Structure 1
Amino acid sequence: MKWNEIKNKIILPASLLFIISGCENKITYEPVWDPDKEGAPTPVIYSIQPDSAYGGIIEISISGENFVPEIDQNFIYFGRNSAIVKTASANQITVIRPINLSDTVTIHLSVRDAYQSAKFGPYKLEEGVVDVGKELGRVYSIAIDSDENLYVHRKSDKKIYKITPDGVQSEYGTFSEAKTSSAMRMGPGGYLYLQRSTDTGSGFKRLYKIAPEGGEAERFVKLSREVKSFDFDQNGNIYSGGINSGMFVIHSDKTFEKVGNYLDFDIRAVRVFEGYVYVAGVYSGTDTLLSPDNTVVIAVPAERGIWKSQILNDGSLGATEPVFDWANSGSFSASEINDITFLEDGDIYVATNNSDPILIIHSDGTTETLYEGLLGGPATNLVWGNGNYIYINRYGENDDVSGVDRVIMGKNGAPYYGRRD
């Protein structure tokens, strides 16, 4: 018998057996959902407030029906970007808009167990992060006046430029004598103050100012030690500090004196908030400090961090109190502190050279990253505007990776006393 005949006698009956057995054992599937189950009512959007998201607004209210009171059972998308649900009820939801988009979008709202979603549009959004210092390249320092005009000290030509809120740029002043600056603040009477620095960013003894109409920066005061950062208090005094220089208070008549206990500090940033001078930087001494409640003398808690001193009636400073130990900043702990500013409720915003450049320190000591993954760095200066915007100076390795970003916040910053007339 030939091999082909033998093979056919074996395979054909086996195949027939498989077919027969397959017919007797049909594979069945349970339905993924119950086809008879009635879904939740379809959500409906009636209105959205505000009717467009401009002016730094990030919180948006959606009114309608058939929403779910449980926050995590409502899903809102602006185009393809998800929003953060803040509050929810059966007929109103409040969300935080996505930051990484702009222009006109359709809003989609879905709820758990509903087969269909609600749509609303077109809805207009402003861009969340805008480079308002376009084509200026690297910038030494920035400031904002009471009309939301931005002032930048440009590296390439050493000039100061003014940028209006609608983006118009003009040359405002020159800094021929000093060239570089480490800090800039708008001061009383519309004068723009600049702290002179070296090319390496270290401090200098002299502070300059530019008249309200602009022009050449003129000398204001020369201190006895090099300083790097400064801020105004509500009485028009300037508090200024630098690398192991201590802290100075400068009065409007140009007299000054050393105050506080900051001689062993490399002061990176100075900010006045609610009657205290806040200092961010590095501590190299061995002195002891008072506890925050002024009741216990404790060892200096941090090599790097933030401290504060109360401003006394005569302009001098009280005890140096620890505020935040930089070792508790998580992934930021290896980064450098470059600047600080405040939300009006007391949260501290810290500019760093971290890949996500801005750390938020809440009043209870917890921290979070501002808009993680969406902001570029390093951030060297941080200034809050008069409303819902914060301005970040990104001073990178070259002009292509540098700029000044205006970022929507939906919140007001603490006052800058120098902006007052």
Structure 2
Amino acid sequence: MNEKYFKVLTLISISTFIFFSCEEDTEAADTEVPTPIITSISPVEGYPGEEVTITGENFNANAALNLVEIDSNGVSLASVTPTEGTATSLKFTRPNVSGVGVSISANLKVRNVEDPDEKVSDSVSITLLPIFDIITVAGLPKTKGGLAFDADGNLYARGQDPAEVYKITPDGTESYFGQTHWGEGEMHFGADGYLYAAVVWGDYGIVRIPPSGGDYEPYMPADTDVDNPFDFDFDSDGNMYIGTANGTIYHRSANADTATLIKSYGKWGSPMRYYDGDLYWYTKNDTVASAGGTNGLWKAPVPAEGDTISPASSTQILSSDDYNPSGLAIDGMGNTYLMDGWNADTTVTTSQLVRVTPIGTVESVYTLPTENPNKAVWHDNKLYVAAGNQGNQIYVIYLGPDYATGAVPQ
């Protein structure tokens, strides 16, 4: 009997040893996770809200068990869970972290949170581009004479007096380009490569600078064509639409030498823009509502040859006496930005940049460091705003492909 007892006890001991050995092996297999390795990031530079792809090895195949950590000089800026991923690739959205006027050099690493030790990759460098940037035009005392972009992405800024034009390349290099007479009005490039500019006062009308730069040449003198041209714009066929300081609008065909009046009513100081087959204008200071309604933002289809714009053919997008814009800009989704330097009574300045959606909703976009935003242009998902009388700066606001109001510096 003792011999049988000994055999049973031995079997129990062996079974227990095997059981615990297997349990220890199972635990080791569940928790052993390799350290993540980052081989590349694309793109390295970017703005908040943009998608980034991290390529490498040993990422957790469950995207939610990875954590993307971003820091600068040892200070944590953000921790982001990837939106999707595999063992070799992760995608995440850049967080709403941005400098003001400067890019932030930061470090990025990937942490595997499934591992109790939370194994972390080595850091790689990334750059967080600024939502709000400032371009200073050293050659100008003021940036009040309009902004324009050429086909290569170079920015052109004009002063008021002197009305010199400076060219700023995408890498920030500034050079003198040419000049016009008295820079108070818009500028646009034509399909012929000339830089066209409106000169509100005097008999100069609209002038143009050759593609090579230099002094301006006459194009549409005010004493023979359109008096006091303030705003103008081109459509894709090269037709020109001219808004005057008193609110009327003219049309000059790409194949004609003269301009035709297509909107005969208006009030002094009415900025204008062309967008997607429609003409936009802002009626202000109009106590008798000569526009057929109230002050505010209007639009009308470009009339057929021989027809004109009337109150009946126009649509009022926004009815308001609260704004007094000196310029308009329209983005790729049809939102209209008001360069509103003064409130309605013209005695109180404002720094608030607002936009009006196509259905007339007013949205606050950004508080500018100027009380007189003057002219603006939309280019490559950014709004470029001239500081106007406040100095020689151009403010650049990145709003992204969806133009969300949430994309502002934190």
TM-score by length of 1: 0.66
Matching residue of 1:236: 238
Q: Quick one: distance in 2 between partners of 1:338 and 1:86?
A: 44
Q: Give 1 or 2: higher strand fraction.
A: 1
Pick aligned residue for 2:44 from 37, 52, 58: 52
Alpha-carbon distance in structure 2 between the residues aligned to 1:196 and 1:59: 40
Other-structure match for 1:379: 373
- Of 384, 389, 408, the residue aligned with 2:382 is 389
Q: 2:183, 2:199 within 8 Å by CA — same for their partners in 1?
A: yes
1:411 aligned partner:
401
Residue type at the aligned position of 1:105: A
Q: 1:142 to 1:315 in 2, by over 3 A?
A: farther
Q: For 2:151 and 2:306, how far apart are their aligned partners in 1?
A: 25
Correspondence for 1:363: 358
Question: Which runs of 5 or more residues in structure 2 are unaligned?
Answer: 1-35, 342-348, 404-410
- Alignment of 1:141 onto 2:146: yes
For the residue of structure 2 that corresponds to 1:132, the secondary structure is strand
Match 2:314 to one of 303, 316, 320: 320
Q: Counterparts of 1:81 and 1:362 in 2: how far apart (Å)?
A: 36
The one-letter code of the counterpart of 2:142 is: R
Contact 1:267 1:279 in 2 (8 A): no
Q: CA deviation at 1:407?
A: 3.3
Deviation track 1:295-318 (CA, whole Å, cap 9, x = no partner) reads xxxxx1x32x21111013327444
Aligned in 2, Cα 1:52/1:373: closer, same or farther, shift over 3 Å? farther
Letter in 2 for 1:50: S
The CA RMSD over aligned residues, in Å, is 4.0
Question: How far apart are 1:82 and its partner, in Å?
Answer: 6.2
Amino acid at match of 2:243: G
Between 82-91 and 123-132, report the one with greater CA deviation: 82-91
For 1:367 and 1:117, how far apart are their aligned partners in 2? 48
Task: Point out where structure 1 has 5 or more consecutive residues left out of the alignment.
Answer: 1-43, 290-299, 328-332, 414-421
Secondary structure of the corresponding residue to residue 365 of structure 1:
coil
Once residues 98 and 329 of structure 2 are traced to their aligned partners in structure 1, the CA distance between those partners, rounded to angstroms, is 21
Q: Describe the shift of the 1:288–1:103 C-alpha distance in structure 2 as closer, same or farther (beyond 3 A).
A: closer
> Equivalences for 1:82-121 in 2 at 5 Å?
93-100=92-99, 101-106=102-107, 121=124
What displacement does 1:123 show?
Answer: 1.6
User: What is the DSSP-based 3-state SS (H/G/I as helix, E as strand, rest coil) of the residue aligned with 2:299?
Assistant: strand
Shift in alpha-carbon separation, 1:228–1:314, aligned structure 2, 3 A: same
Provide the C-alpha distance between the structure 1 equivalents of 2:95 and 2:356, rounded to a whole number of angstroms: 20
Residues 206 and 312 (structure 1 numbering): CA distance in 2 closer, same or farther, change over 3 Å?
A: same
Structure 1 residues 224 and 325, CA, compared in 2 at 3 Å: closer, same or farther? same
Identity value in percent:
19
Q: Which amino acid aligns with 2:43?
A: D
Q: Residue type of the partner of 1:207?
A: I
Question: 1:185–1:192: 8 Å Cα contact kept in structure 2?
Answer: yes
Distance 1:197 1:96, change over 3 A: farther
Q: How far is 1:369 from its partner?
A: 2.5
Q: CA deviation at 1:204?
A: 6.8
Secondary structure of 1:352's aligned partner: coil
Structure 2 CA distance for partners of 1:102 and 1:224, relative to 1, 3 Å = closer
Q: Does 1:181 align with 2:173?
A: no
What amino acid does structure 2 have at the position aligned with 1:137?
Answer: P
Task: Assess if the C-alpha contact under 8 Å between 1:77 and 1:109 holds in 2.
Answer: no
Which of 152, 158, 174 in structure 2 is aligned with 1:153?
Answer: 158
1:214-229 equivalence runs, <5 A: 214-221=213-220, 222=222, 223-229=225-231
CA deviations on 1:29-85 (whole Å, 9 max, x unpaired) are xxxxxxxxxxxxxxx99798633125x67513476767769xxxx998664696798
Quick one: which amino acid aligns to residue 106 of structure 2? V
2:4 maps to none
Structure 1 residues 97 and 314: alpha-carbon distance in aligned structure 2, compared to 1, 3 A threshold: same
What is the match of residue 193 of structure 1? Answer: 196
Q: Is residue 260–residue 309 contact of structure 1 (8 Å, CA) maintained in 2?
A: no
Instruction: Assess if the C-alpha contact under 8 Å between 2:155 and 2:167 holds in 1.
Output: yes
Q: Give the whole-Å Cα distance in 1 for the aligned partners of 2:117 and 2:368.
A: 33
Aligned with residue 346 of structure 1, among 334, 356, 359: 334
Matched to 1:325, the amino acid is: S
CA contact (8 A) 1:86 1:96 kept: no
Going from structure 1 to structure 2, the CA distance change for 1:388 and 1:159 (only over 3 Å counts) comes to: same
Q: How many angstroms apart in 1 are the aligned matches of 2:361 and 2:383?
A: 21
* Cα offset, 1:207, TM superposition: 1.1
Report how far residue 226 of structure 1 moved: 2.3
How many residue pairs get aligned? The number is 337
Q: Which amino acid aligns with 1:339?
A: G
2:167 is equivalent to residue 162 of structure 1: yes
Quote the residue 1:281 is aligned against: 283
Deviations 1:359-381 (A, max 9, x none): 132334333322x3465453211
Distance 2:306 2:76 in 1: 50
In 2, are the aligned partners of 1:150 and 1:164 still within 8 Å (CA)?
yes
* Contact 2:284 2:324 (8 Å CA) reproduced: no
TM-score in terms of structure 2 length: 0.68
2: CA distance, partners of 1:373 / 1:109 = 36
User: Displacement, 1:266?
Assistant: 3.2
Alpha carbons 2:68, 2:81 under 8 Å: kept: no
